[in-house]
Structure 1
Amino acid sequence: MTIAVEDLAGRSLVPDELFERLVNRIAKENDLPHEFAARIMDQTLAFLRACGEDRRAPLAPSEPVDIGWHTFLLYTREYASFCERAAGRFIHHVPNDDGEGPADPQDLIARTTEAVRDLGFAVDTDLWLTSKVKCSDGDDGCRASGKDGNENTDTNGK
């Protein structure tokens, strides 16, 4: 007897109302169809959950997933709360300002999608095709800075 196991959806990690607000903002600000924006946000949430695992190598979003991450960061309270639930700490966004990415961005994306898949999440492969990586969750392998995982010490505990 074979039992089919359905992949997890990233959207299950946040309340429906928040997911819809994020999707609507992505769609509006990027002139994208709602369905495509929903796919972006779903993969963003799965990616961030993977960043919450204790990994030795950094993970990075594809360009579409980075759009979702940027959008979520605008909702600072909700993002911080999500990070605490999903990772036990704040997940920092580290831009690649110098334009120097990893030697092989495809390897980094492959490692990232493998981490997402290993947690049981569906991977929307069309959203992970990329020619460059513009940011990561940090050089320290998915670990946030600061002793409590939040470099924003002026807002800790508030």
Structure 2
Amino acid sequence: MPSTAVVARTRTGRSLVTDAEFDTLAAFCADEYGLERCVADQVIDQALALVHVMGTSGEGANMAPSQQIDPGWHTLILHTGWYADWCERSFGYYLHHQPNAKVRTRGLMVDVVGRLRAAGFEVDERLWGTAADCNPPACCGDGDGC
């Protein structure tokens, strides 16, 4: 008897915005934070996924970006009008940024990565400090490190 298993497809943070919005955000992130554009693209992708999961789950207070993803969230917030509208459209309220860099531990980053995956998002573990081959400066430096 053939298998009837359904293969779930993952989605990207990038898929949550238009191409023009993504390009504007990634270009700003690259310029503002001195990142190569390909890195800024990944940072914005992961930041969008993070903020979406925080907003739709109502668990934002229990989640935090990694040190590498934080510039992505700051990029979103610095586009204040767009960010406020996007939050309202995406999850019905404005998700405030209440930074607490002291909580960036490897355990929390592993939990956040798990939540992103559970919500169906692709995850770049190098940017979360959870990759098995994590080596500075690519992905380390968060809390107790790799």
**TM more than 0.5:** yes
Q: Does 1:131 align with 2:131?
A: no
Does the 8 Å CA contact 1:83/1:90 hold for their aligned counterparts?
Answer: yes
Residue 55 of structure 1, CA deviation: 3.1
Gaps of 5+ in 1: 134-158
2:32 aligned residue:
29
Residue 57 of structure 1, CA deviation: 5.9
How many residues are aligned here? Answer: 129
Task: Give the AA of the match of 1:50.
Answer: V
Deviations 1:120-152 (A, max 9, x none): 00011001014239xxxxxxxxxxxxxxxxxxx
What secondary structure is seen at the aligned counterpart in 1 of 2:58? coil
Residue 48 of structure 1, CA deviation: 0.4
| TM-score normalised over the length of structure 2 | 0.79
Task: Give the AA of the match of 2:115.
Answer: A
Does the 8 Å CA contact 1:51/1:87 hold for their aligned counterparts?
Answer: no
What secondary structure is seen at the aligned counterpart in 1 of 2:64? coil
Gaps of 5+ in 2: 130-140
What is the aligned counterpart of 1:12 among 15, 30, 37?
A: 15
Q: Does 1:40 align with 2:81?
A: no
RMSD: 2.1
Q: Relative contact order (alpha carbons < 8 A, sep ≥ 6): 1 or 2 greater?
A: 1
Does the 8 Å CA contact 2:64/2:112 hold for their aligned counterparts?
Answer: yes
What secondary structure is seen at the aligned counterpart in 2 of 1:121? coil
Q: Does 1:49 align with 2:52?
A: yes
Q: Higher helix share goes to which structure?
A: 2
Q: Return closer, same or farther for 1:17/1:110 CA change in 2, 3 Å cut-off.
A: same
Does the 8 Å CA contact 2:54/2:63 hold for their aligned counterparts?
Answer: yes
1-side partners of 2:142 and 2:60: how far apart? Answer: 23
1:145 aligned residue:
none
Within-5 A mapping of 1:6-155: 6-52=9-55, 53-55=57-59, 58-96=62-100, 101-102=102-103, 105-129=105-129, 130-132=141-143
Does the 8 Å CA contact 2:54/2:60 hold for their aligned counterparts?
Answer: no
Residue 87 of structure 1, CA deviation: 2.2
